[in-house]
Amino acid sequence: MIENFDTKLGNVKIDTDKIIDFEYGIPGFENLTQFALLQPESTFPIMWLVSLEDKDVAFPVILPQLIRSDYEIILPEDITDYLQLEKPEDAVVICILTIPHNKEDITINLAAPVIISLRNKKGLQLLIESSEYKIRHYLKDEIERNNQLLSVQRDGG
């Protein structure tokens, strides 16, 4: 069923089958559970995790492999059970960007990716305790790192 929702990106029509249920909320926004992933061409490659309950809440997100091609996480079994995941393609993994007015300060949160299940449309923000992935990675540093990584891969074969 298609319904209209007021979101940060304006009034949008959303198929209610595509609403993502963040049953346990997102840290800091525990009272909001109904979200949608909007992918307007005009902001590509940024997508928007928008609240359908509070039109002021919208997180800019991207696929982490866009800027870190070797991004890898392992989901614990209780999470894969909850999300009913059987294979990696059953999940969408996105990371939240912080985009202040100064572009030098754009960061991406690789330590707390958002996992969305294509199987049961449930979502959650996972907190990874890892020395490699941090809550704030500067976009500039990541792009530089990724360029180096890709050029090594090219040279190596």
Partner 1 sequence: MLILSRKVGESIIIKLGTNHVKMTILESNNGTLKLGFEAPKEIKIYRSELYEEIVNQNKASLIDDVIEAANLFKNEVPKNFSPKYKNIDLK
Q: What are phi and psi for residue 146, nearest 5 degrees?
A: -70, -40
> Which of 4, 42, 74, 157 forms a contact with partner 1 (CB under 8 A)?
42
DSSP-derived letter for residue 53 is: S
Among 99, 141, 148, 151, binds partner 1 (CB under 8 A): 99
Q: Segment 52-91, which members bind partner 1 (CB under 8 A)?
A: 56-60, 63, 65-67, 69, 78, 82
Total interface residues for partner 1 by CB under 8 A: 53
Mask of contacts with partner 1, 100-129, x by CB under 8 A? xx-x--x--x-xx---x-x--x---x-x-x
Cβ atoms 109, 98 nearer than 8 A:
yes
Measure the CA–CA gap between 128 and 150, rounded to whole angstroms: 25
Let me know: does 106 contact 97? Beta carbons within 8 Å: yes
Q: What's 119's DSSP letter? A: T
Count, residues in the chain: 157
- Kindly state the helix (H) or strand (E) to which residue 107 belongs, with its residue range: strand 107-108
Which residues lie near partner 1 (CB under 8 A)? 8-9, 17-18, 20, 26-29, 37, 39, 42-43, 45-48, 56-60, 63, 65-67, 69, 78, 82, 92, 96-101, 103, 106, 109, 111-112, 116, 118, 121, 125, 127, 129, 135-136, 139-140, 143, 146
